[in-house]
Structure 1
Amino acid sequence: MTFAETQRSRSEDSRISPVFWVLIATLGASALAVWSGFGNARLGVFLFVVSGWVVSLCLHEYAHARTAMHGGDITVGAKGYLTLNPLKYANPLFSFVMPVIMVIIGGFGLPGGAVLIERHRIQGRLKHSLISAAGPLVNVVFAAALLIPVGAGWLDSSSPDGYTDGVHSPVQPITAAFALLGLFQVSAALLNLLPVPGLDGYGIVEPWLSLKTRRAVAPFAQYGMLALFVVLWQSDAVNRWFFGVVHDIMGLFGVDAFDARLGDYLFRFWQS
């Protein structure tokens, strides 16, 4: 293979997928529709939140892959991980489908499965930790980008009458949509940073553990996310405590919990 062919191959490995552009177009169009009051507000909020959530999942996995590539795993490009195409993930079911379902029925941002990194190609514990931390950092940045405009009141001017889909409220649909998607980003970052086997939080600390400890924990990694979901779903006390923390963090940006609750009401357009 010539140098030109190699460069072209690498360029194709990093070319943004049309699937991702469709997601971006859906996100932008739904945001504009909700902001301008065009069409059904609840359906618009649903499309905005779901497409925004999937975009964040793509960027989350991309951050893992890009950091891994700079750390020494040059195979991530050939696997399609740099194209931002969710269909290229190692396990689309857990990286893409399940997190979307959890957002719809569970009301929180459950982190997805990571891309497949060839860890033996990467030298140094710090690099391994950074690869695991890159994904949650995307959720943190995404959350800030959503919550800062809400807290600053930059979105409030689009609503004239104080009513949102028949509900008396000074909060605009676009404000509620931003707040809800921001809540999902905060919850995903918090959950994913927990040192639970199988999640990025454990991946951050794992390189610093003894080999004996890592081997003992390894069999449980595949059950970590499932166990986390069961605890949040079944325990009202844990659920209330967790979302209390999420709302406290949102409060630091000046975002009221009511904004996200209204967003959740609009999001579930199939419920009266």
Structure 2
Amino acid sequence: MSTASPNLNVMIKAARKAARGLVRDFGEVENLQVSMKSAGDFVSRADIKAEQVIREELMEARPNYGWVGEESAAEVGKDPTRRWIVDPLDGTSNFLHGLPHWAISIALEHKGEIVAGVIYDPIKDEMFTAEKGNGAWLNDRRLRVSGRREMIGCLFATGLPFAGKGDLPSSLRDLSRLLPQCSGVRRMGSAALDMAYVAAGRYDGYWERSINVWDIAAGVVIVREAGGFLGAMSDADVLEAGSVICANEPMYGPLRKLLID
């Protein structure tokens, strides 16, 4: 990775510190005490503890910044132009079922724009990072989106509604339109890693209709800095729309047209 800014170093340090506790708990996942937030949406003690660790690290380093996290109340900082956007455990259902596909996501927003992002998969020790104007990186390797130009050869990722959550008819319509024209669609259960994988060229594109800002914030800057195109499934800003589409440049337009028209 190229020289990281002080802010990005703080984010990386916070992600690694929270990861240590999550990895320990993942090794004993069957013993976790789990409470139900809503149907199919669980939060563990590990999730809450990880957010506390991240928040303490970030706010100690930058006490004037605001905060948005999945498991705690949002706060406006003394500096209203900057805020942290954090998902301490993206892929909670995978985590709780012992599936090794989950990540920590930390983003820094400045004046409504994501300027730095970290997505850390501690099981594989893959640290995806990006800062505006400084490229996207996986550990010490520069990232670029895939170069595929034909839909039939592309592999896409998405999220699907579960337990009555989200718009199932629209999601099924999306799949019925896309599956006959591409190489495949994956539903892996972590929006943050889906976006990181687009940046790494592992997927050619990703979309999701019902999504939270903390799930995608870090991925926004990582995808863009890797040369990808990104937007919402509406005319709204992607951080406010609750939906996202991202892909390499040749596939972004065709994918968006197929899903939205």
TM-score tier (shorter): under 0.3
Structure scoring higher RCO (CA < 8 A, sep ≥ 6) equals 1
Q: Going by fraction, where is helix more abundant, 1 or 2?
A: 1
TM-score (norm. length: structure 2): 0.26
Larger Rg computed on CA atoms: 1
Structure 1 or 2: more strand by fraction: 2
